[in-house]
């Protein structure tokens, strides 16, 4: 299992975090998504077949690009 915190400057509210959680949880292999509104970040845990690049691409696709 891999785990990483992604910095996402576009996070401004709970709706943002919920949108990110919903989208990332649809990726096959993502097991946990926790958002931090004040820290403007999300912590993601995943296993194969999803990769870090898949997660970053999805974040960009939904207009919450990781920096």
Tell me the CATH architecture of domain 2-61: 2-Layer Sandwich (3.30)
Q: What is the pTM of this model?
A: 0.95
Domain ranges (residues) in the chain: 2-61
* Element containing residue 15 per DSSP (H, E): helix 14-25
- The pLDDT value recorded for residue 45 is 98
Q: pLDDT tens-digit profile of 6-59?
A: 999 999 999 999 999 999 999 999 999 999 999 999 999 999 999 999 999 999
DSSP state of 26: T
Q: Which residues contact 50 (CB under 8 A, 6 or more apart)?
A: 27, 28, 29, 30
Distance of alpha carbon 60 from alpha carbon 49, whole angstroms: 19
């Amino acid at each position: 299992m891999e785990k990483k915190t992604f910095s996402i400057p576009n996070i401004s509210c709970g709706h943002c975090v919920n949108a990110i959680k919903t989208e990332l949880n649809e990726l096959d292999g993502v097991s946990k998504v926790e958002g931090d509104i004040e820290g403007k970040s999300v912590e993601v845990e995943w296993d194969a077949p999803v990769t870090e690049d898949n997660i970053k691409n999805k974040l960009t696709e939904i207009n919450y690009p990781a920096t």
